[in-house]
């Protein structure tokens, strides 16, 4: 089936936010601002009305464990209060794997439901966006789970993962692992707080879903 995704069909954006202790302070503040700005930008898209959201948001914070934000649980974006979204950096260690596992399971169900939709070709492919400053992953290897996500498709088009490695301050991220998690050309190293905010807000609200288009948005962030 030829895909002709329409903006009027909501795109699911999955945000995997590092909430480990090393994110506390400037990085957590920048991440909070980025997610809030992304939500507000997404809310501004489309015709007026609370039921006309062009995006849905799944926000998963991960520290020792991964937790789905109850307000952003695949929720239409206009039903989200951006001021209630906080990344605190108080979650202990870094467990990227569990966050990816939750994302994989949610996406499987979501895509299976779309398969039976009579106008599924009009629905945008979901986008997964992850950021982390962690050098040590507490869970098992995250790469195999990331590959399972990237193998999920709708009408033959795969889900894309964009990732940012945050090296603001003393903590240095595991660039090799994060590059392996991300799709080709969809990884970006972040060296200042402002760039983290811009990555989250720009990529998350871009409305694109193909790897080459996500890569272009990331290049604009880096410019």
How many Cβ atoms from other residues are within 10 Å of residue 52's Cβ? 13
Contact by Cβ (8 Å): 56, 81? no
> Whole-number mean pLDDT of the chain?
92
pLDDT digits (tens, 9 = 90+) for 70-112: 999 999 999 999 999 999 999 999 999 999 999 999 999 999 9
Query: What pLDDT does 2 receive?
Result: 52
Contact by Cβ (8 Å): 127, 107? no
Query: What pLDDT does 8 receive?
Result: 67
Which of 28, 52, 32 has the alpha carbon at shortest distance from 42? Answer: 52
Position 223 pLDDT exceeds 80? no
Range 187-200 average pLDDT: 96
Angle in degrees, 0-180, between the axes of helices 211-222 and 193-204, rounded to the nearest 10: 150
Position 219 pLDDT exceeds 60? yes
Query: What pLDDT does 6 receive?
Result: 59
């Amino acid at each position: 089936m030829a895909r002709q995704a329409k903006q009027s069909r909501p795109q699911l954006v999955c945000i995997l936010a590092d909430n480990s202790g090393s994110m506390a302070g400037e990085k957590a503040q920048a991440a909070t601002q980025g997610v809030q700005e992304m939500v507000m930008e997404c809310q501004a898209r489309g015709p007026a009305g609370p039921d006309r959201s062009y995006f849905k948001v799944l926000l998963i914070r991960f520290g020792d464990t991964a937790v789905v934000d109850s307000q952003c649980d695949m929720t239409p974006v206009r039903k989200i209060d951006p001021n209630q979204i906080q990344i605190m950096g108080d979650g202990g260690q870094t467990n990227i794997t569990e966050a990816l596992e939750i994302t994989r399971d949610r996406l499987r169900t979501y895509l299976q439901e779309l398969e039976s939709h009579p106008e599924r070709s009009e629905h945008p492919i979901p986008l997964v966006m992850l950021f982390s400053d962690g050098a040590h992953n507490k869970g098992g290897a995250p790469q195999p789970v990331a590959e399972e996500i990237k193998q999920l498709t709708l009408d033959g088009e795969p889900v894309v993962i964009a990732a940012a490695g945050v090296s603001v301050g003393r903590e240095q991220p595991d660039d090799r692992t994060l590059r392996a998690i991300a799709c080709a050309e969809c990884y970006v190293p972040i060296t200042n707080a402002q760039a983290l905010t811009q990555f989250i807000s720009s990529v998350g609200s871009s409305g694109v879903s193909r790897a080459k288009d996500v890569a272009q948005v990331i290049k604009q962030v880096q410019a």
